[in-house]
Homo-oligomer: A and B are copies of this chain.
Amino acid sequence: MKEGPDIAYIAALIGDPARANMLTALMNGKALTATELAAEAGVTLQTASSHLAKLQDGGLLRLRRQGRHKYFSLADSGVAAVLESLMGLAAGAGHLRTRTGPKDLALRTARVCYNHLAGDMGVQVFESLMDRKYLEFRGDELCLSPAGAAFVADFGVDLDGLARIRSPLCRECLDWSARRSHLAGKLGRALLSRFAGLGWARVDKKTRIVHFSPEGEKGFRAMFPVPRTAPID
């Protein structure tokens, strides 16, 4: 019999409530210190220290030292993808930790997932781009078409700059609130930062909610219209 596969090891790491809280807190893409993460998880500092060491050993966290601080962040977007899909499963099975509230609605509408836009508006970006054939699948890979490249360049995204970073340009990420995909990868990140740069939206780092201004919402609707016919799920 094979030894316990690594999948159990990783899942067990996420499976502790305190660690799961820490990881969820890091889903906004920002790095947090050990003390901050201890507060997020609701445990003492020494307990948090032990958890963080385990998460780092498991390769789920990346560490940056700055003076006497230790800043932790998710190791990569793959970790974020796992967390996001886990949220989808848990939400679908009805395992919500708290009742739904107004904050929940805002989270469902627009939130930060790692470093890109998620929620209904994130899904809308993805589907709008897919509908116009700006994004397309080539085999398993999600690609930006020439027309799509022109579109995002015109929108103000520096594609040449992105090309220098060696990680996937476009990636699909499963949304836990809507059960559709939204756009992740370098392009997803660039689009969110462009929304911020245009003054369309600002990110509440605490709650992960993305607040759109009235003008921002208007511009967003113009640039990313919903497809006429809703795609079959």
Number of copies: 2
Tell whether A85 is near chain B: CB-to-CB under 8 Å.
Answer: yes
Inter-subunit contact B12/A12 (CB<8 Å): yes
Inter-subunit contact B7/A103 (CB<8 Å): no
Chain A count of residues within 8 A CB distance of the other chain? 52
A20 to B4, CA, bound (A): 8
A177 to B92, CA, bound (A): 30
A60 to B85, CA, bound (A): 13
Inter-subunit contact B11/A15 (CB<8 Å): yes
Nearest CB to that of A98 among chain B residues? B3
Inter-subunit contact A82/B79 (CB<8 Å): no
- Name the B residues within 8 Å of A58 (CB-CB): 93, 95
Nearest CB to that of A2 among chain B residues? B97
Question: Hey, what's the 0/1 contact readout for A1-30 against B, CB within 8 Å counting as 1?
Answer: 111111111111111110111011000000
Report if A82-B86 is in contact (Cβ < 8 Å); known contacts: A5-B95, A12-B12, A20-B7.
Answer: yes
A2 to B20, CA, bound (A): 11
Option from B13, B79, B81 in Cβ contact (under 8 Å) with A15: B13
Inter-subunit contact B107/A92 (CB<8 Å): no
> 8 Å CB contacts to B: which residues of A70-100?
78-79, 81-83, 85-98
A35 to B12, CA, bound (A): 25
The 6 closest A-B pairs by CB, nearest first: A12-B15, A6-B90, A4-B17, A5-B90, A59-B93, A8-B20
Q: Report which A residues bind B (CB closer than 8 A).
A: 1-17, 19-21, 23-24, 42, 58-60, 78-79, 81-83, 85-98, 101, 103-104, 107, 174, 176, 179
16 A–B pairs (Cβ distance < 8 Å), ordered by A: A3-B98, A4-B87, A4-B96, A5-B17, A5-B96, A6-B95, A7-B23, A7-B87, A9-B95, A12-B16, A59-B93, A78-B174, A79-B89, A81-B85, A81-B174, A82-B89
